[in-house]
Amino acid sequence: MVFSLLFLVAIVSEREKSVRGEIALLKSAIEEARERSQLDANQESLLTARLRDALLESRRSTKGEEDFVAQLQSVREQERSKRLEDEEGNMVVWRDDLKREVEHEQRVTLEMESWLNERRAQLRALHRQANVTVAAAPHDVADALVGTTVL
């Protein structure tokens, strides 16, 4: 029985060593896992900080680009308005020139009509006078006048 007891103590002692070895391995594994976890958490924190910084920088640059685009659009609208105002001014000048030209043409037309009416009245008077003269003149004068043109 002593032998069995010694054998049992040896088995328990062996088993205890084996369990203590497993416990040491498990503690070591737990500590490694804890260190890896801490390292991963630190790396994730660094990555989060970098991403946050990149986001802020992106927002800053985007805001700058938005401001630039807004200014550019404002300048383009002002330039377009200026071009339209200039074009409108040119069209007003052109319209006024055309009005003056039409008025001039109307004056010229009226003057020409007046001159033509006066000239026609003169020619009619000359024609009547020539007809009266021909009627009163002897036939030899009338024959002489037939070959001439009266204006």
| Total of domains in the chain | 1
pLDDT at 53 over 80: yes
Would you say residue 85 lies in a domain? yes
> In the predicted model, what is the mean pLDDT of residues 22-49?
93
Residues 148 and 130: beta-carbon distance below 8 Å: no
Torsion of CA 67, 70, 75, 78, to 10 degrees: -140
Q: Which pLDDT belongs to residue 10?
A: 76
Q: Which pLDDT belongs to residue 114?
A: 96
The model's pLDDT over 56-94, given as tens digits with 9 standing for 90+, comes to 988 888 888 899 999 999 999 999 999 999 999 999 999
Chain mean position to CA 12:
89
Domain of residue 106, residue span: 2-146
Would you say residue 33 lies in a domain? yes
Would you say residue 151 lies in a domain? no
CA distance 44 to 95: 74
Give 131 or 46, the one with higher predicted confidence.
Answer: 46
Would you say residue 18 lies in a domain? yes
Q: Which pLDDT belongs to residue 145?
A: 57
The model's pLDDT over 111-147, given as tens digits with 9 standing for 90+, comes to 999 999 999 999 999 999 988 876 665 555 555 555 5
Would you say residue 67 lies in a domain? yes
